[in-house]
Amino acid sequence: MRGGEIQLLNAVEIQLARELGMLEYASKAAQPLTSAIADAGGGLANELATEFIKLTVDESVLLSMVRTEIRSAPAGELSKIDVGGNVSRAGVENTAGTETRRPTFNKLTYSVKKVETLFDITGEFETGNIEGSGGAQTVRDVMMDATMNDWETLLIEGDISNGGATDFDKLVQANDGVNSLATLANGAHVFDAGNKRISRALIKQALKQMPTKYRRDTSSLRLFVSSDIAMDMADEGATRVTDRGDNIYFSEGASSIAEQIGPFGIRVVPVPLMPQDLTLSGTDSQGSVAWLCDPMNIRVVIHRQLTAESERKAREDRTEVTVRTATDYLIENTNAFVKIANLLVDFAGSRYT
């Protein structure tokens, strides 16, 4: 490193901070991250690491909605509480009650797994690109945007059993994401769409899989779908010809077309990184999944010790940049989670009826 400087996150942090109105943090990010304010070993100072994680989360569609925990320990426990069955009894005059009930306290165990982003900036690029001296920072910014996308992809499609060798495979091998965690074996409800397109009838059947105590307030539920599935739902809603039908299908007060879709009071959330190329049958690769749950039921643990290092290799005429953090993903209550599998993306296919 030159003079102990770590100059990786400045531009993207400043931009995100200003967008969020975090002027105080923006002024800090405008200064080079020197060894004087970094932890030993190249780690960002805890304050800066925490703020960068928050900014990254706010840029993500999914991460900004779920429950995110920033923890200093790489492994530990998260508390959860549940009340099962009835807790009240008929009272008897002049008789002291003796039957007491209490909530059930359980713990979720997390153990973060390391995720790293490694890239090089050659000397030829640094001196010969069209932006001149600013070109290297543009590369850093673009790579950090890609890192944010990878964090969300890992949350969605992480699968430690993946044995492939592509760039995607090497990413998802880092940890199990929600798709891998939401299984019948883990207690989640999995509804098979039968290779059919999304429809109001399909959402109704998926909702029925969830125990009634978790759907008393459907306004707290969200249906996370891919971008094309959201468009397909909007297309189905456009064919309705009655005001009454529209009121049932759409939610009032929404700020976008996607947010207006709300069968049974459930808000649909398009997630651009939700897969749309899953295998349905044979060689067909136009499948997707959808999640029906309260976003707070998904918990993401991010280890606070985020490191970002930049080192100039003079003899090799390149700069090495390394970013590392560690994450874990949990579904707090799998009984309140429904995954819709084998969902067809092809608009020419048949809808679920």
Q: Among 327, 326, 323, 316, which residue's Cα sits nearest to residue 119?
A: 323
List the chain domain ranges: 10-75+108-172+298-331, 185-296+334-344
Global pTM value: 0.75
pLDDT tens-place string over residues 16-31: 444 433 333 333 333 3
Q: Which CATH class is domain 10-75+108-172+298-331?
A: alpha beta
The b-or-e profile of 342-352 (16+ CB within 10 A means b, else e) is bbbbeeeeeeb
Checking if the pLDDT of 132 tops 80, the result is no
pLDDT tens-place string over residues 25-67: 333 333 333 333 233 344 455 655 665 555 555 567 888 899 9
Q: How high is the mean pLDDT of the chain?
A: 78
φ/ψ of 118, rounded to 5, equals: -125, 130
pLDDT tens-place string over residues 253-301: 555 555 555 788 888 899 989 999 998 866 567 899 999 999 999 999 9
What was the pLDDT predicted at 21?
38
